[in-house]
Amino acid sequence: MTQTSVVQRLVLPGTGFPVPEVLCVRLGKGSTIDRETERLMLPKGGTVSFDTFYNGLSPEAWKRMTVIDTLAFCLRGHGSFRLEVRLHRAGQPDLLLLGQEVRPECKDGVTTELPWAQINDGLLYIRLEALTDAVIDGGEFTTRTPAARDVRLGIVITHFNRKPYVLPAIRRIREGLLNSLDYADKISLIVVDNSQTLTPEETEGAILLPNRNLGGSGGFARGLLRLSDDGQYTHCLFMDDDASCGIESIRRAFVLQTFARNQELAIAGALLSETDPCLLLEKGATFTRGCARPLHFMRDMSRVDDLLATERTGEPPGYGAWWFFCFDIRKVRAFPFPFFVRGDDILFGLTNDFQIETLNGIACMGEDFRFKENPTTRYLGLRSALAIALMMPDVTRVQIVRMMLGWMLSSLLSYNYGSAQAILNAIRDVMKGPSFWLADMDAALARAELAPLNAMEKLVPVSLPADFSVAADERESRLRHLTRIVTLNGFLLPGFLLRDGSPVTDEKSFHGTYSRIFRHRKVLYVCAPAGTGYVAVYDRKRFFRLLAAFLRIFFLFMLRESALRRSYRKALPDMTAKAFWRRIYPGSSA
């Protein structure tokens, strides 16, 4: 009898890792979910459809990445159903591929072979109609295709003082994978504890590595070093301790690597907003013209059109963020650069020959980066972006100029003077050359300087109505737009033209909404989901003092730019070598 392998399990909303219903299933009239048992209850005539983020299947992506050449669907439950295999295609009518009556009464369910060879694009999904009162216990897409490679996966989580996040993640992985006979001796969990606050009892089932805190760069390098030295592991999955991930996402990454066409395949997990999980924050990203840019930002994963759009082949990811990044250890040429945090995942993607792919249904949930922005993240983000720009041959002087000017003006024009000072610190430190990163690998000196700057933009509880939202701006006239530009968004206006009184409210982001805050002396930046915010105040003297300081350091940087490029490019191979991290963590494989 030919052995079958599970390709993709149905994800049903439950209590272990709650996800919105609409990302899993679309319920017809009368159909309900029992979240405790993760079962679907259908009355006679009730329907469910699985054309969703977690349960639709993308034929083009699976065929591009894997050698899978057969596909079937197994339904488990009780009662009688009409099972339909359907296909959504962009700009075309929904297509019925197959329809038949099934009765999944036996323990193993009932399996339906699918016309896999005839399907090349779109969103493949299952629709079920109950012909009697019925229950769905689960289901999965399966294949009879033999595995292309034997995968031994090591999951590496870097932890720092986030027990409320990391302990539930360890428990989910232990119960869902490590204790499963299907993955015995195939998947291991390594927790690199940079805060050294976890105990072996708390991390039962995982390999616990207490570690010197060198940030995400050092933590993931330590975990990769352990897997590489062990010699038994073929693949590594980097995961953050603060990015919530369902077990099925890990399973799917494991399956993709098991059936991968190419050893270079690397899987980058998408990031969904934990505030509104239907909104996509990133599905892969690029680093172009010296700037990181998320792909498919703010697409709605509850809409079929957006599900189709995010799976189309278009601009490929240049790197995968480390909240979820799965790759073949044997294809690693360069280890992480010691950035501490921010930028390490970008450079890792750029310096290794990975075929980076994304897939609907492989995702984490995390906090929107716009709400995290503060002087520390500004500093860490710019210093790594500048260093990477100096290392990469395709980033020009003009692009570096635009990057520095854009970062600085976005803070100054938003009245975020702490962030503006942090940007000056970042440029200063990058100018010190590669030796700077070795002298302050734990960023202790940098963080001490940033502490008072963070206080200037600290989010504190604010009183907001339950239905609060920032009102949309009215369309701006050309004259007003031109006035804002020539007056540096009001900083060249005489004081009597500025508005006093209550602050104008704006949503916290990477910078203010310039048209909204124009001429206002105070801005209340709010993070509505958390009910927090802070007030930023117009300060003409500080604006021009910081701008003058920026121009001085900017011109000095550009005078040294060629020499800095040479020194960073010369240092890059050694500072991303396995031997480099062996010197940092001697005896780390013990």
Where do the H-state alpha helices sit in 119-270? 163-173, 215-230, 247-258
Distance (Å) of CA 66 to CA 69, 115, 146, 301, 477: 9, 17, 11, 24, 53
Burial (CB < 10 A; 0-12, 13-18, 19+), residue 362, is buried
User: Which pair of tokens denotes residue 338?
Assistant: 């010691």
Burial (CB < 10 A; 0-12, 13-18, 19+), residue 449, is middle
Q: Where are the domains positioned within the chain?
A: 5-143, 153-372, 375-541
Q: Is-contact 225 588, C-beta < 8 A?
A: yes
End-to-end CA, the chain: 44
Distance (Å) of CA 124 to CA 71, 254, 308, 513: 11, 21, 10, 41
d(CA 53, CA 431) in angstroms, rounded, equals 45
Three-class secondary structure of residue 102 per DSSP: strand
Q: What DSSP string runs through 13-77?
A: --SSS---GGGT-EE-TT-EEETTTTEEEE-TT-EEE--STTT-B-HHHHHHHB-----EEEEEE
d(CA 210, CA 189) in angstroms, rounded, equals 14
**To 10 degrees, what angle do helices 444-456 and 417-430 make?**
160
Give the largest CA-CA distance in the chain: 85
Check the CA dihedral 463-365-322-167 and report its sign. Answer: positive
Identity of the residue numbered 333: R
Least Cα distance to 310 among 286, 288, 280 occurs for 280
pLDDT for 107 equals 77
Residues in the chain: 590
Burial (CB < 10 A; 0-12, 13-18, 19+), residue 71, is buried
At CA 518, angle to CA 512 and CA 523, rounded to 5?
Answer: 55
Least Cα distance to 487 among 523, 536, 411, 540 occurs for 540
d(CA 480, CA 213) in angstroms, rounded, equals 50
d(CA 264, CA 353) in angstroms, rounded, equals 7
pLDDT means per 10 residues, the chain with 590 residues, are 86 81 94 92 96 97 97 96 96 93 88 94 97 95 96 96 91 92 92 95 94 95 96 95 84 98 96 92 91 93 96 90 96 96 95 96 90 94 96 93 96 98 98 96 95 95 80 85 96 95 92 95 92 96 98 97 97 97 78
- Residue 180 region by backbone torsions, left for phi larger than 0, else alpha for psi between -120 and 50, else beta: beta
User: Which pair of tokens denotes residue 493?
Assistant: 């206006």
pLDDT for 242 equals 67
Full-model pTM = 0.94
Q: Is-contact 565 571, C-beta < 8 A?
A: no
The enclosing H or E element of 475 equals none
Half-sphere exposure at residue 150, Cβ-oriented, CA atoms within 13 angstroms: 4
pLDDT for 240 equals 86
**To 10 degrees, what angle do helices 215-230 and 344-351 make?**
40
pLDDT for 386 equals 97
pLDDT for 15 equals 65
Q: Is-contact 239 189, C-beta < 8 A?
A: no
The structure tokens 């206002």 sit at 520
Least Cα distance to 568 among 435, 381, 395 occurs for 435
- The fold of 5-143 is Jelly Rolls (2.60.120)
pLDDT for 371 equals 87
* CATH code assigned to 153-372: 3.90.550.60
pLDDT for 288 equals 86
User: Which pair of tokens denotes residue 399?
Assistant: 């692009």
pLDDT for 46 equals 96
At CA 429, angle to CA 240 and CA 581, rounded to 5?
Answer: 45
